[in-house]
Amino acid sequence: MAGLITGLDAGRVRENLARVREELPEGVQVLAAVKYVPPEELGTLAEAGIELLGENRAQDLVAKAAAYPSAFRWHFIGRLQSRKVKLILPHVELIHSVASDSALRELAKHAVPETEVLVEVNTSGEEGKAGIAPGELAAFIERCPASVVGLMTMPPFTEDPEASRPYFAALRELATGHGLRELSMGTSQDYRVAAEEGATIVRLGTSLYA
């Protein structure tokens, strides 16, 4: 398990953010992934100009959002457990990882009609990886009680950014075919390739904090 990220420097993060934004097309949102950033460091991110945060763990998202009630916009980016849907809904503007019928049932109970979500798609077909199979996407969207505005994917881990391109391209084609506007794809190692393939949200950690 990775260690906590501490000792962040606002000036350094600001410089990293500016560099990343220069590398991205206009309109691509930069989401700072804060799974390993403790609450006491979030003020530094606000000082650096970070506006959008993504958290993987429901309880941590609730605690961090409560600690900084107006400093950030929040997205949920981790594996979505159905029993945590009710917990995170009041705090997030977007859930990136809807991928199970149990999550759909909880959304039906607790979401309001304007709740927006992304469906996670397993574009690589890896066994054990979260996400809907591409061939099941249309039926899944049809069953979703919330407003599906886009898709998310996590390609297989690789140190070669180009190796992620086919999976990003596949997600873009799926989104286009279903008339969806948002594509959450790309992390610190491959966000440039993701942007070239149409990402509208990139989820970054090390490239902002190091």
Domain CATH for 50? 3.20.20.10
Residue 127 lies inside a defined structural domain of this protein: yes
Residue 18 lies inside a defined structural domain of this protein: no
Please state, in angstroms and rounded to a whole number, the distance separating the CA atoms of residues 63 and 56. Answer: 12
Please state, in angstroms and rounded to a whole number, the distance separating the CA atoms of residues 96 and 74. Answer: 11
Residue 172 lies inside a defined structural domain of this protein: yes
Domain with 145, as residue range(s), is 30-209
> Each residue's pLDDT tens digit in the chain (210 positions)?
468 999 999 999 999 999 999 999 999 999 999 999 999 999 999 999 999 999 999 999 999 999 999 999 999 999 999 999 999 999 999 999 999 999 999 999 999 888 999 999 999 999 989 999 999 999 999 999 999 999 999 999 999 999 999 999 999 999 999 999 999 999 999 999 999 999 999 999 999 999
pLDDT for the residue numbered 3: 86
> Considering its fold, how many domains does the chain have in total?
1
Residue 16 lies inside a defined structural domain of this protein: no
Residue 12 lies inside a defined structural domain of this protein: no
φ, ψ dihedrals at 192, nearest 5°? -65, -45
What's the pTM value of the predicted model, to 2 decimals?
0.96
Residue 2 lies inside a defined structural domain of this protein: no
Residue 59 lies inside a defined structural domain of this protein: yes
- For residue 150, give the nearest of 123, 172, 118 by alpha carbon: 118
Residue 129 lies inside a defined structural domain of this protein: yes
